[in-house]
Structure formats: C-alpha cells, structure tokens
Amino acid sequence: MKGDYLISELYIYPIKSFAGIQLMEAEITDRGFLYDRRWMLVDNNGRFLSQREYSELCFFQPVIKKDGLEVYHKKYPSQSIFVPFQYQSENQSVAIWDDICQGNIVSEIINQFFSDLLKQEVKLVYMTENSQRLINTKYAKNGELTSFSDGYPFLMIGQGSLDDLNAKTSEFIPMNRFRPNIVFTGGDAFEEDTWKNFSINNIHFTCAKPCARCVVTTINQDTGTKGKEPLVTLNQYRKQNNKILFGQNIIHHGLGSIKVGDKLIVQ
C-alpha cells in the first residue's frame, strides 16, 4: 500500500570504495548526500581505484570530524591519517569510467600514507564545487550532477529485496555488500523496480535505472575475502540483458535532509 514505506538506513561513502558511514540523518546537496564520494584514490594515470581491483580498500574506515575526515585501517587501527576539509592544492584531471573531471590533490603527505599501505603510488583527490560531473544525459532532466559515484547521486535498496535474496542464498549477505545510500522497509521484494517517482520529506526523487552489480558484492567487507555469492544466486533470477540488477539508481530534485524513520511516498 502506498505510503507504508519507511527509511530504515542511510549511508555515505566519503572516499570512493572505502568503508561507509551509517547515519541517522543525511543532508542532500546538489550532487548527493553531503560528503558522499567527494574523495577518491587515483593512480599515476589519474584513473580511479576501486574494490573491483583492490579489495583491501574495504579496510579503510573514514570518520567524520569537525574539520575533516579521520581515516584509519581496520586491521591496523594505529595507522590513521587526517584529511582536512579546508586546504589549498593543485588540480588534476581524473578518470572515472568514461568521465573525465577535475580533482583537487589534497596533500603529498596523505598520498604517501595511502601509497605505503597499498604498496603502489596513489593520490587522494577531492571534488570541489567547481568540478561538476553530469549524470548520464539519457536519464538527466535538468543537468543533474553526481560526485565520484559510479554514475548517480544515490543508490536505493528495499530491505524486502535483500530479505528475498537471503532466503535463496547459501550464506547470509549483509546490506553493506551492495553499498546503498538509502534503505527502506515496507512493500514487496523488488517493488522499487516498478517505481518512477517518490518523495522523502518533501524532496522529490526519480528512479533513473536499475543498478547493475559487479564483483564488489562478493567481497566480505570485514575480511576483504572474495566469494561467489550473491552473484551466483542473483544470476538465477535477477539477470537482464547480461546484467545482474539489484537496487535502483536515483536522482533528486531539490535540497534538504532526510532521516531514518521518514516516510517514503510513492507518486
């Protein structure tokens, strides 16, 4: 029944492919949740790093502080670095999938910290307000922006969809394998596949397209080890056009904030 959906979990991932942060309330900016994927690691060619090739990125845990991010390594908690919100540095072009945009190099000290732990030369870049990355024009209506996400400001998943998956898998799959921004309860499994427009706290959203899933979903976010689930099970009943679909890529129309417990109203 429409109107019986509630926001149950909210997440941000300040540094792309690093561990996420669960929130009770999240502020919505022009390109997604505040701080969500505004930083990322790039290699010497300016290409982004992700858990697809570097599963150990799951061990880096950011924590939001007053003036920046504190990032520590889960296996070596004494190994930590502070990433300030305010600094002055140089820009460089960075590549994320087929997009080229501008990233601001935070500092050489921070670069060395991550380079040492990952045993290869990397740089941490930040997306400033001047760096504007458009979402796919096929789905954009008014030049909507995104951050260093894979392509859209938000990923949303219904808890019922994950429950349905776990009823079919040989092992329990937690929500963090799918790295959503918004989780809701209520309704049937995969009901979000049928939605076009909805609102939360008077902020309007549009379901752009289903999210195609990759090998990152098979990485245990606590141990960094790779398995076969959930892709083996999802392949049996969530495959369309050679893509395994789970969750919805969302774009928004308006600013404000949403919190756990808010109603999600389908329109």
Note the pLDDT tens digit of each residue in 215-230. 999 999 999 999 999 9
Query: Looking at the 3D structure of the chain, how many domains does it have?
Result: 1
pLDDT per residue as tens digits for the range 14-43 = 999 999 999 999 999 999 999 999 999 999
> d(Cα 199, Cα 252) in Å, to the nearest integer?
9
Spatial CB neighbours of 138, under 8 Å, sequence gap ≥ 6: none
Say if residues 206 and 196 touch (Cβ distance below 8 Å).
yes
pLDDT per residue as tens digits for the range 30-79 = 999 999 999 999 999 999 999 999 999 999 999 999 999 999 999 999 99
Spatial CB neighbours of 178, under 8 Å, sequence gap ≥ 6: 155, 157, 162, 213, 217, 246, 247
Segments forming the whole domain that contains residue 233: 5-266
Decide if pLDDT at 2 tops 70: no
Q: What per-residue confidence (pLDDT) applies to 1?
A: 45
pLDDT exceeding 90 applies to what percent of the chain? 93
Q: What per-residue confidence (pLDDT) applies to 139?
A: 85
DSSP string for residues in 160-211: HHHHHHHTTSSS---GGGT--SEEEESS-TTGGGG--EEEETTEEEEEEEEE
Decide if pLDDT at 193 tops 90: yes
pLDDT per residue as tens digits for the range 120-179 = 999 999 999 999 999 988 888 788 999 999 999 999 999 999 999 999 999 999 999 999
Q: What per-residue confidence (pLDDT) applies to 138?
A: 84
